[in-house]
Chains A and B, each alone.
Chain A
C-alpha cells in the first residue's frame, strides 16, 4: 500500500541520493572533472555511486590514482583488475622525479615521503591535466578539521584551502564557479559515517581490497605499529624481525606507513561487529596524522586531500 508513510527513504538511501546528486552536479557544471581514486573502501563506495549516477552510461570522467610508489602490492593488483573489469578510464600518476631520487619512507621518513610522493605528486597531476574539479572520498566524521569543510571546497591557483574563507553552502545549491587555474575539491560522501560505508559495501556487494579482511600475514612491529612485509624494499634489519600474525587493515595507504590491527574479522559482518566494539578510530593506524596536533588541517591547507 502506498501511503505517505511509504514515502520515506532510509538513511542509506538518503545519503546515496545526496551523493549521486553531487556527482551529477559536477559532471554537469565542470569542464574537466576527475575522481581521485585511492583504492580504499571509501573510494570504492564513491566509484560505485558514480556508476549508479550515470548508469546505463559509463562514468563520464576519469579516475586518478596518485601512486606514491609504496602502496601495498595487493592494492595495485586490485586497482588494475577492478578498472579493467568495469571499463573505467584510469589515470595513474607518479612523481617520477621522486622515484628517480629514491624517495621512500624508510630512507626519508614519513614526512618527506608523504610530501613528495603524495602531496607534491597530487599537485603535479592536477596541474598536468588542468582538472577544474576533483572528487575526494573524505568523510566529515573522520577527523576534526574535515567536519567544517564544504562539500564543494574551493582551492586557489596554488591548490590551497583557506578554512577561514569558505563559501557558504546552503540547501543543495552548490556554487561551482571558478576562474581559470582555480578548482573545487568535491566530497560526495561528506555526510557518510564509517558504519554507513561498511553497510553500503555489504548491501551493494562492492568489491574491496582483500587487505581489509583478517588473514595470517607477515608483519614486523615498528614502534608499536604492525607493518606488513610487502616487498624487498623493507630494510633487511627491520624485515628480519618478521613474524606471522592474524591481522587486517582498517585503512590503506603506503605499506610502511599503515599499521595493521590484530583481528580475526574475515567477513564484512565481522568487521562491522569489531568496529562497533572497537575503541580506536580508524585514522590512528595512519602514521602521518600523529606528526602534530592539527596536522591534518596543516596538510589540507597545503593541498593534501
Chain B
C-alpha cells in the first residue's frame, strides 16, 4: 500500500492496522538527495512543483496561498504557477527568479526525497555547486525548443566536477515541439557528444512535459515512441547507496567524549569503509596501533558500522587521540601532507588574493593555509583552460595549496569526504572557496609560491637603505651560494666572508645547517618544508640588506623555481647567485657525514644528486673548481 492511496483516502476509510502497515513501510524507505539544474525558462520550477504536487505533498493551504500570490505576480496566466511555490524569499519573488539554494521535501511509497533547487543563471555557479555537493543524482533540464545550450554544458560540467554519478537529462516542453521524436533523439545525441569529455557514469534521457504531465508519473498518450521509465519511476528506483566508498576505511575524529574517568569515547561520522569491532586500527598522524573495543551507533551497540553513520567508538588501548586525527587501517592509509593540488571554486565577492592566509577546513581539521598559485582557470561553459593569476567569484581553477600542518586526505574522485575542503577568510569569516583535492602529481613535484606579490612596503622606517649604506660605506648585497651537499659551498662562503671582512665590510653568513637546527628546526625535508626554509632565509636576507648589511647565504636550494622566487623576494639588483658546480663524484668523496651513502642505501629521501635532480641554469656565476677560483672574482 502506498502513500498515494493513503492521501487520497478519507479519514474514515483508514483503520489502525493500515496506518501501522504504512508506518512500518515508511520506516524502511531510503533517502535520495537530488539536484535540479536548469532555469525557470526550462520549466524547472514547474517540474519540481509537479513532482511535489503529483506526490500529493502539497497541502491545501499552501495551494491557497499560492493562488493568492499568483494573482499578484504570477507569470503563468490563469493556470497555477508551480514556480511560485519554490521562490521563497520576498525580494526575489518580485523578480521572478530564484537566486539561492532552496531545499524541498517529498515522498512516495518507495522513497523519501530531498531536492536541492538551484538557479541556472551564470552568476550563481556557487549555488549550484552547493546543491551538488550532497546530491546523489541530478536532473538536467533541457528546453526541447532550444536543445543543448551553454547553460546545459555549464551544469553538466559542474555535476561532473562535483562527482554526481547519476544524471537524468529531462528534455522538457515536448508539448511545444509536437512531441517530435526526432527532436528528442537529436538532443540526446548532441548531449552525449558533449559529455564524452566529462565523467558521468550513469546518464538517462527522458522526454517530458512538466506542464502537461507527460512522463512525470505516467507515460501519457502523447509519446508512444518512448518506452523508457517516467521520471518519478526512475527517481524511485535508481540505486544510490552502493555509490559510497565502502573500501577505504577513514574515520575522522570529530569529538572526544570523556564524561568520567572510566569512559573515553571517540565520536564521528564514518567517512568511508567499514568500521568493525575487534579490528586493528591505526590512529593518524601518530601512527599508533590499537583495536576497536566497542561501537555505538544509533543508540545501540553494534559489531560493525558503515558510512554515513555517526558513531561513538572506544579503543582497547589508551592512546592520545584528538579532534582532527583519523582512524584508518594499517594497509590502507590516506595521504599525509601539507602540499597538494585541488580544483577550487571561488565563492567570495572578493577575488582571490595570493598573499592572504586562509583557514582550511578539511574533515574535522582546521589549519592555516596559503594558495601557492593558480595552474589554470577552466571555463565552465566550454571546459577550455586558460591562464589566470587569480580566481574571481564563480570561477573555477586548478590550484596548488600549502597547509601549515599536514592534512590526512584522499583525492575527491576516490573519496568525497576526505577529498573535499572549504577555505575560510579569517578576516571576514566568509567561506571564500571550496575545493576538491586532485591527486595526480607527486607533492614533491608541485610548485609552491614563497614570494610575496603584494608589492607593499611594510614597516617603513625614516632611515633609507641608501643612507645606511652610505654611513657604513658599503653596498648591500646577498650572495646566494648554491650547489650539492659537500660541494665546497661553505668553504667558499667563509673565504668570501673573510675577504669582505678584511676589506672592512659588515657581513653576515646564513648557513643552512645552522638555520635548520635553530630558527627552522621544526621543518622537515618535504617540498613544502624545504620551500618554507628558503622563504624564511630570503626574508631574513632582505631584512639584513635593508639594514645595509652584506649577506652570504649557503643553501643547497636545488629547485630552480624556488631560487627564482628567492631572487624576487630579495630583489634582483642586490642578488648574486653563485653555483658551486662540483661534480657529484667529487662531492661524494668529500662527504664527511656519509649522507650520500645513506641516500644510496635508501635511508634518506629527496636527496639532491641521488633521487632528486639539482636544477641548474639560473646562476649569475658558476664556480667549476673551488680550489682555483679567485675570491675577488666572486665580488
Q: Which residues of B from 237 to 280 have beta carbons under 8 Å from A?
A: 241-242, 244, 246, 254-255, 257-260, 263, 265, 267-269, 274
Contact of A280 among B61, B88, B268, B421 (CB under 8 A): B61
- Chain B contacts of A273 at CB under 8 A? 11, 14, 16, 19
| Mask of B353-367 contacts with A, CB within 8 angstroms, 1/0 | 000000101101000
For window 304-319 of chain B, which residues contact chain A by CB distance below 8 Å?
304, 306-310, 312
Q: Which residue of A lies closest to B26 (CB)?
A: A199
Asked if B445 is at the interface of the complex by the 8 Å CB criterion, the answer is no
Contacts of B90 in A (CB 8 A): 145, 293-294, 297
- State in angstroms the CA–CA spacing of A46 and B394 once bound together: 36
- Residues in B whose Cβ lies below 8 Å from that of A83: none
Q: Which of B89, B359, B361, B420 contacts A145 (CB 8 A)?
A: B89
- Cβ B422 vs Cβ A191 within 8 A: no
Classify the secondary structure of B's interface with A: mixed
Q: Chain A CB within 10 Å — which of B104, B130, B258 has the most?
A: B130
* Residue pair B244, A28 in contact (C-beta under 8 Å): no
Stretch at the interface among A18-26, A208-216, A220-228: A18-26
The smallest C-beta distance from A180 to any residue of chain B, in angstroms, reads 11
Cα–Cα, bound, A175→B101 (Å): 17
CB of A199 within 8 A of CB of B434, answer: no
Expressed in whole angstroms, the Cα–Cα distance for A21 and B363 within the complex equals 12
Q: Is A166 an interface residue (CB 8 A)?
A: yes
Q: Could you tell me if B130 and A7 are in contact, using CB atoms closer than 8 angstroms? A: no
Say yes or no: B19 contacts A9, CB within 8 Å: no
Please, what's the 1-or-0 string for A216-253, where 1 marks a CB less than 8 Å from any CB in chain B? 00000000000000000000000000000000000000
Given contacts A28-B323, A144-B88, A193-B107, contact A21 B310 (CB under 8 A): yes
Q: B27 — which chain A residues lie within 8 A by C-beta?
A: 10, 12, 199, 203
From B258, which residue of chain A is reached at the shortest CB distance? Answer: A57
Inter-chain contact B100/A175, CB cutoff 8 Å: no
Shortest Cβ distance from residue B83 to the other chain A in the assembled complex, whole angstroms: 13
Q: A148-B100, A272-B23, A279-B61 are in contact. Are A175 and B361 (CB under 8 A)?
A: yes
B525 to chain A, nearest CB (A): 31
- Which chain A residue shows the least CB distance to B425? A177
For the side of the interface on B, what is the size category? Answer: 35 or more
Q: Give the A interface residue count (CB, 8 A).
A: 75
Question: Within 8 Å of chain B (Cβ to Cβ): is A52?
Answer: yes
Given the complex, which residues of B lie within 8 Å of A31, measured CB to CB?
none
B183 to chain A, nearest CB (A): 34
Residue of A nearest to B429 (CB): A177
A145 and B100 alpha carbons, distance in the complex (Å): 11
Is A16 an interface residue when CB atoms closer than 8 A count as contact?
Answer: yes
B290 to chain A, nearest CB (A): 20
B129 at the A interface (CB under 8 A) = yes
A4–B242 touching, CB < 8 Å: yes
Chain B residues with CB below 8 A from A274, complex form? 11
Give the Cβ gap from A46 to chain B, nearest Cβ, in Å: 15
The residue from B101, B105, B258 contacting A193, defined by CB atoms under 8 A apart = B105
Q: Do A277 and B134 contact each other (CB < 8 Å), given the known contacts A56-B263, A148-B100, A175-B361?
A: no
- Residues 162-179 of A, flagged 1 when their CB comes within 8 A of B and 0 if not, give 011011111111010111
B422-A173 in contact (CB<8A):
yes
- Note all chain B residues with C-beta closer than 8 A to A196: 112
Shortest CB-to-CB span from B392 to chain A, Å, is: 15
Asked whether any CB of chain B lies closer than 8 Å to the CB of A270, the reply is yes
Q: For the complex, what is the distance from the CA of A16 to the CA of B305, rounded to whole Å?
A: 14
- Say yes or no for A116: interface residue by CB 8 A criterion: no
Question: CB-nearest residue of chain A relative to B8?
Answer: A277
Q: Does A147 contact B (CB under 8 A)?
A: yes
* Central interface residue in A8, A25, A170, A171, by most chain B CB within 10 Å: A170
Q: In the complex, A193 Cα to B101 Cα: how many Å?
A: 18
- Of B28-36, B227-235, B377-385, B545-553, which stretch is located at the interface? B28-36
> How close is A14's CB to chain B, nearest CB, in angstroms?
5
Closest chain A residue to B33, Cβ basis: A191
A148 to B131, CA, bound (A): 11
Q: What B residues does A204 contact at CB under 8 A?
A: 299
B9–A277 contact, CB under 8 A? yes
CB pair A53–B267 under 8 Å, yes or no, is yes
User: Quick check: is B91 within 8 A (CB to CB) of the other chain?
Assistant: yes
Q: Chain A nearest CB: distance from B158 CB in Å? A: 12
Docked pose: A297 CA to B307 CA in angstroms: 36
Residue from B14, B127, B359 whose CB has the most chain A CB atoms within 10 Å: B14
Cβ of B267: which chain A residues have Cβ within 8 Å of it? 24, 53-54
Q: Which residues of A contact B16 (CB under 8 A)?
A: 269-270, 273
Q: CA separation between A278 and B100, bound complex, in Å? A: 31
From residue B276, how far is it (CB to closest CB) to chain A in Å? 10
Per the bound structure, the CA–CA distance linking A124 and B5 in Å amounts to 49
In the complex, chain B residues whose CB is within 8 Å of the CB of A280: 59-61
**CB–CB B420/A171 < 8 A:** yes
Q: Which residues of B have CB within 8 Å of A144?
A: 88-89
Closest residue of B by beta carbon distance from A265: B11
Which residues, 110 to 132 on B, are CB-close (under 8 Å) to A? 111-112, 114, 126-127, 129-130
A55 at the interface (CB under 8 A from B): yes
**B296 within 8 A of partner (CB):** yes
Does chain A have a CB within 8 A of B62?
yes
Chain A residues with CB under 8 A of B9: 277
Report if A24-B255 is in contact (Cβ < 8 Å); known contacts: A17-B310, A148-B102, A297-B89. Answer: yes
Contact A170 B424 (CB under 8 A): no
Contacts of B126 in A (CB 8 A): 168
Which residue of B is nearest A28, CB measured? B255
Q: Does A287 contact B (CB under 8 A)?
A: no
Q: Contact partner of B134 among A168, A171, A193, CB < 8 A?
A: A171
CB < 8 Å neighbour of B103 from A55, A147, A203, A269: A147
User: Is the CB–CB distance between B244 and A7 below 8 Å?
Assistant: yes
Query: Which chain A residues (141-193) contact chain B, with CB distance < 8 Å?
Result: 141, 144-148, 154, 163-164, 166-173, 175, 177-179, 182, 190-191, 193
Which residues of B sit under 8 angstroms from A171, Cβ to Cβ? Answer: 133-134, 416-417, 420
Contact (Cβ within 8 A) A166 B364:
no
Q: Knowing A148-B102, A195-B26 are in contact, say whether A9-B309 is a contact too (CB < 8 A).
A: yes
Neighbouring A residues of B20 by C-beta, 8 Å: 269
12 more CB-based (< 8 A) A-B contacts, given A53-B310, A56-B259, A270-B19 = A9-B241, A17-B308, A17-B309, A17-B310, A18-B310, A24-B254, A25-B254, A166-B100, A167-B431, A171-B417, A172-B269, A172-B417
Can you list 8 A-B pairs, Cβ within 8 angstroms, ordered by A?
Answer: A7-B241, A18-B308, A24-B255, A140-B105, A145-B90, A148-B102, A163-B91, A170-B134
Closest 10 CB pairs of A and B: A57-B259, A279-B60, A11-B31, A170-B133, A20-B310, A294-B90, A144-B88, A177-B429, A281-B59, A8-B241
